[in-house]
Amino acid sequence: MNVLIFDLKVEGITPAALRVHSCEKAENLINMAITLDPEYIIIHADQADWLLDAYSKSPNRLKADIIVVCPISTPQVIREWTSKGAAMAWNELNWENELHGLIDVPASSQTEVQHVLEHSPGMSQIITVGSTYGGAGSTHTAFLLASFLARHCKTKVALVERGSNPCFHQLDEFHNGQKNSFRPRFEIDRLTLFKGTGSSKWVDSATDDFQYVVVDMGDIEQSEDTQAFFRSSLPVLVASASDWRFQELHDFIKRNNVHRQDRMRIAFPMASDEAMDALTTVMKNRLLFSLPPHGDPFTRQEDTDEVLESILFPLMPKRSKGPLARLFGRQN
């Protein structure tokens, strides 16, 4: 759902299915509303009169419902604003709670998980893996996901290096004895690794032959193409469950709330049950996963496989027999 806000500031984490666009200049508001076609425009009472007047003069161009946020919201005040054309009037003390209430979030189920595209034969599935800070574990998580897909689906998987701290050259030397090799790609087991030095267009063409493509984007804050992370078939964000690292995750989600986030999974390496419980309470309607300690991503580990299967479930081929007995992350 698209929402356009003006003369207001969102402080908390919005629901994953809500895309919030902010407008800072009154002269741009109408054009942004026409371009974005939001379901709602939310505006403070101090600025609402001129917008409602413009709305009444061009009903065919502005289709969004207008919500007015005001200092008080008595029945009389609400009637005054609705008589001018507003759909609703919210109190400014709790308007963010009302904003969250616009999303009717379905309960977690085994048949629908946050509107992620399901597996389609013959179609390349792109899984992007990024982190909220350098060293959080995006590369290790990308290897875990790629190795699991290759082993579980019995297919070759492309693993593309796109972070700001490339390491595939060293890996090529360690596994294959290719010291100072400038070849752009090499193989380990069923994985085909593309080094970060290769041309992005060339890599995009080469990976068309793979059923699954895992892209390690490293620290998303250092990436020049954040949109690529959110536009993939399945974005996986790696973050820390530590209290002192939560602000980085909070800021990332808030800063990117114009992007669709309901497909995004958030993985926390080695997070405790207590930390996951606390995060679930704070981050309502987010798909959160705790990754167990797993040293060698090329080896199978049952507890890790359970979590990875839950993360990747919508992109996995459907099983011919029996239900999928997995939890799809923690949701409220």
pLDDT digits (tens, 9 = 90+) for 251-292: 999 889 888 898 999 999 999 999 999 999 888 779 999 999
Task: Give Rg (Cα) of the chain.
Answer: 23
Q: Which of 284, 228, 262, 282 is nearest to 19 (CA)?
A: 262
Listing DSSP states for 165-227 in one string gives S--HHHHHHHHH--TT---SEEEETTEEEE-TTS-HHHHHHHGGG-SEEEEEEEEGGG-S-HH
> Rounded CA gap, 89 and 42, in Å?
9
Token output for 205: 């063409």
- What average pLDDT is seen over the chain? 83
Token output for 126: 């792109």
pLDDT at 308 over 90: yes
Residue 22's contacts (CB-CB under 8 Å, 6 or more residues apart) are 4, 5, 6, 9, 10
Token output for 45: 């009472």
> Rounded CA gap, 155 and 145, in Å?
13
Least confident of 25-34, 161-170, 295-304: 161-170
Distance of alpha carbon 121 from the chain centroid: 24
The neighbouring-strand residues paired with 65 are 40
* Local confidence band at 71 (pLDDT 50, 70, 90 cut-offs): very high
The model's pTM: 0.77
pLDDT at 172 over 90: no
State mean pLDDT over 146-168. 88
Contact call for residues 193 and 159 (beta carbons, < 8 A): yes
> Rounded CA gap, 220 and 163, in Å?
8
State mean pLDDT over 290-302. 93
* Local confidence band at 328 (pLDDT 50, 70, 90 cut-offs): very low
State mean pLDDT over 72-89. 89
Token output for 63: 């289709």
∠285-289-295 over CA atoms, to 5°? 165
CA 276 → CA 257, 286, 308, distances in Å?
Answer: 22, 12, 17
E-state strands within the chain: 2-6, 19-23, 40-44, 65-70, 88-91, 125-131, 157-161, 185-188, 191-194, 212-219, 234-238, 265-269, 287-291
Eight-state DSSP code of residue 330: B
Structure-token match 């050259």, residue found: 169
pLDDT at 226 over 80: yes
Other Cβ atoms within 10 Å of 304 Cβ, number: 18
The neighbouring-strand residues paired with 67 are 42, 88
pLDDT at 110: 33
Token output for 181: 């090799």
Pairing of strands 191-194, 185-188: antiparallel
Contact call for residues 115 and 263 (beta carbons, < 8 A): yes
The predicted-structure confidence for 205-222, as pLDDT tens digits, reads as follows: 667 789 999 999 999 888
Q: Which of 121, 115, 317 is nearest to 233 (CA)?
A: 115
pLDDT at 12: 82
- Give the HSE-up count for residue 271: Cα atoms under 13 Å, Cβ half-sphere: 27
State mean pLDDT over 288-311. 94
